Amino acid sequence: MSDYLVQFNNISKFFGKVIALKDVTMKLKKGEIMCLLGDNGAGKSTLIKTLAGVHRPDEGEIIVEGKKTIFDSPKDALDMGIATVYQDLALVSLMSVTRNFFMGREPMKGPAFFKTFDIEKANKIAAERMGQIGIDVRDPSQAVGTMSGGERQCLAISRAIYFGAKVLVLDEPTSALGVHQASVVLKYIVKAASQGLAVILITHNVHHAYPVGNSFTVLNRGKSLGTYEKKNISREKLLSMMAGGEELNKLEVELQEMNRSSAN
């Protein structure tokens, strides 16, 4: 049995002649937080959709718990325990916390052909699960639109965990949050990982990723620049890779030469 819960080996995805991903490899252990870093256009969105079963890779293989797997749909990924929380969170602002928490998977009660929604049980579960992450939901019937951005993000994550996620893929979970709200979400992610959940945190914010990540994979134009354990890479080096440090250094040299030429 492999030490890795999930492996994405040499994943490539093409859209016609456009190379969206090329030979991207990631390996994730139980309880690990891997941060997937990359600027706009790096290929993060395509990789997210490939991990979530929206796209099938054109090359490479996905291995879950030691078994080679093909995802034909997002449902296949969910059935294997890979849950994705997108930036839009898939929450309905006018619906209650409880309704959003269960979203089509509500607990039912009553005889076989006359089952009804067990609202008391659902409210209790939703309030308890949110309370476990330090969010006090006094009234689970309140509309989700009344919650803060951080609370809504935690609700979406908590929902995925409750329904059996083994691997949680988070798409820019702190991008629209303030400092305090972002810290609430990041603390929850660390807590979830400490209980055995594997997390892929997709972000362009190194300052949010570095404190919580165990390892870091950097994407640039659809290719991986490598995966690094925290002990082997500094925050400054990650920032340099993210910003295209080598390209910027080259540009600086070229500008200096241009300035010298114009001066002569």
State which fold the 6-90+164-263 domain adopts: Rossmann fold (3.40.50)
* Average pLDDT for 221-247: 84
Torsion of CA 128, 124, 79, 152, to 10 degrees: -60
Q: Are strands 198-203 and 33-37 parallel, antiparallel or unpaired?
A: parallel
* Average pLDDT for 139-162: 91
pLDDT tens for residues 200-218? Answer: 999 888 999 999 999 999 9
Distance CA 56, CA 60 (A): 10
Angle ∠(186,237,225) on CA atoms, nearest 5: 90
Residue 113 is predicted with a pLDDT of 84
Q: Residue 137 gets which letter from DSSP?
A: -
Angle ∠(225,231,235) on CA atoms, nearest 5: 60
Which two tokens mark 56? 């099938």
pLDDT tens for residues 57-111? Answer: 999 999 999 999 999 999 999 999 999 998 888 899 999 999 999 988 999 998 8
> Where do the domains of the chain lie?
6-90+164-263
* Average pLDDT for 8-27: 93
- Residue 260 burial by CB count (10 A; 0-12/13-18/19+): exposed, middle or buried? exposed
Predicted structure pTM score? 0.85
